[in-house]
A = this chain, B = another copy of it.
Amino acid sequence: MTSTALLTDRYELTMVDAALRAGTHDRPSVFEAFGRSLPRGRRYGVVAGTGRLLELIERFRFTDAELEWLRANDVVGAPTLDWLADYRFTGTITGYREGEVYFPGSPLLVVESSFAEGVVLETLILSVLNYDSSVAGAAARMVSAARGRPLAEMGSRRTGERSAVAAARAAYIAGFGASSNLEAGRSWGVPTMGTAAHAFTMLHDSEEEAFRAQVDALGPSTTLLVDTYDVAEGVATAVRVAGTSLGAVRLDSGDLLTLVHDVREQLDSLGATSTRITVTNDLDEYAIAALASTPVDSYGVGTSLVTGSGHPAAGMVYKLVARQGADGAWVSVAKKSADKATHGGRKHPVRVLGASGTAVSETIYVGDEAPASALASGRALHVPLVVDGAVLGGATGAAGVRAARKHHAAAVAELPAQAFRLAAGEPVIPTVYETV
């Protein structure tokens, strides 16, 4: 079990050091992860990374190796090293289900623990939520732009090698059908796909030899990449080699808006009427929408997906919102600066639904609990994730990914139709604060 404890900003540990010395480290505290706004112009956001995060928190332990490095580098004093040696999170984490949609101010994750136990998780929590939600938010837009046609995630090579696995997982939760990334298949049960690159064609003495080698190995239901040389010749060769039961042809270059029509006509004229066309050339949600009128069958998306389509970090922050004082009384706290205002206090968010089941508002009750009346016409958004240090089942592993994918589809189905406009706009429902 690899420790995740040093995937952490140094100041988390120096804060523990100073608080221990002052005797304030044990003050019961409430931290909250949220986004002050959505990525600019987006109508809604998508929470992703939660299940993955819970597993990383279970591995957040300071073993001898971490402690020795911290000691040798004089990061914190001896009492803090002792405290870290015993660290395991014993508090409670409540949050939005993975796959849920969210809005500005939505309290996505609430961590209740001592100050020190909660503050050291900040960096890890934000790294995971910011990256994974960035990808999921972009993926959801691509899924709605594709209008039911399947999408595959193919961006592993355009992001860090471990972020690639997280991206494949997040895209699958947001409705992509498959990924090229094998580790995402092994770790998270994401279906994997892929057949061949241009290099494979160029390895062989002719395109025909390459296609024959591929069909011999993978069968005629494979996808042949037909644009290494001339597309029309490539398509003719593909059907000649694989027959009219050829699974699909892939286009990775050129003007897809005209090319897809030409290739469809050619395939049909050759009798390959059930051979599908998949396109993979620098797509984003706008290019996908533009291809709606063409007879394309599926999309492969890389760079724009794994980099959040212009918003590579979702903009989430992690803030102390309440803590007990020396007298045991709770104090709501909030930074005061005009440009980074936050709402203090423990929050209980409800997605208020109209008569037809369509979302109307994100109503956040600040106080002890949401009133029962609010739940009559809405859905409570918080679920327990960690109770007294124990990670609850259901959210982790491949089963958690399947549950998140299912929940995402249900949550998106509640959104008003304007949510799916690609043009920049305001959040599709307002965030409303109510003090109870």
Contact = CB atoms under 8 A, between A and B. Distances in A.
Most buried by B among A7, A24, A161, A216: A161
A126 B166 CA distance: 17
Interface stretch (A225-233, A265-273, A411-419, A423-431): A225-233
B160 A9 contact: no
Interface string A300-342: 0001001110001100001110010110000001111111100
Contact of A303 (B193, B212, B313): B313
Most buried by B among A122, A203, A313, A325: A203
B123 A156 contact: yes
Interface string A169-209: 00000000000111101100000111111111011110001
A160 B128 CA distance: 6
Contact of A126 (B131, B158, B198): B158
Interface string A103-138: 000000000000100010011101110111000000
Contact of A335 (B2, B14, B202): B202
Contact of A7 (B183, B196, B213): B183
27 contacts: A2-B2, A7-B156, A7-B161, A7-B164, A12-B197, A13-B182, A14-B217, A22-B213, A69-B185, A70-B182, A73-B185, A115-B199, A123-B157, A124-B161, A126-B158, A127-B161, A131-B159, A158-B313, A159-B313, A160-B160, A160-B163, A198-B319, A198-B335, A199-B320, A203-B320, A230-B336, A312-B312
Most buried by B among A15, A17, A204: A15
A146 interface: no
Contacts of A11: 180, 194-197
Contacts of A198: 319-320, 335
Most buried by B among A21, A164, A339: A164
A227 to B, nearest CB: 6
A403 interface: no
Contact of A29 (B18, B164, B203, B213): B203
A2 B320 CA distance: 36
A249 to B, nearest CB: 15
Nearest to A335: B198
A318 B196 CA distance: 14
B156 A253 contact: no
A75 interface: yes
A301 to B, nearest CB: 13
B10 A157 contact: no
A214 interface: yes
Given A24-B213, A217-B18, A320-B203, A127 B10 contact: no
A307 to B, nearest CB: 4
A374 interface: no
A147 interface: no
Nearest to A183: B6
Interface of A: 2, 4, 6-15, 17-22, 24, 27, 29, 31, 56, 66, 69-70, 73, 75, 77, 115, 119, 122-124, 126-128, 130-132, 154, 156-166, 180-183, 185-186, 192-200, 202-205, 209, 212-214, 216-218, 227-230, 252-254, 303, 306-308, 312-313, 318-320, 323, 325-326, 333-340
Given A21-B217, A131-B159, A160-B162, A6 B197 contact: no
B253 A10 contact: no
Contacts of A123: 156-157, 161, 164
A227 B337 CA distance: 7
A15 B75 contact: no
A336 B9 contact: no
B180 A9 contact: yes
Nearest to A17: B217
A161 B4 CA distance: 9
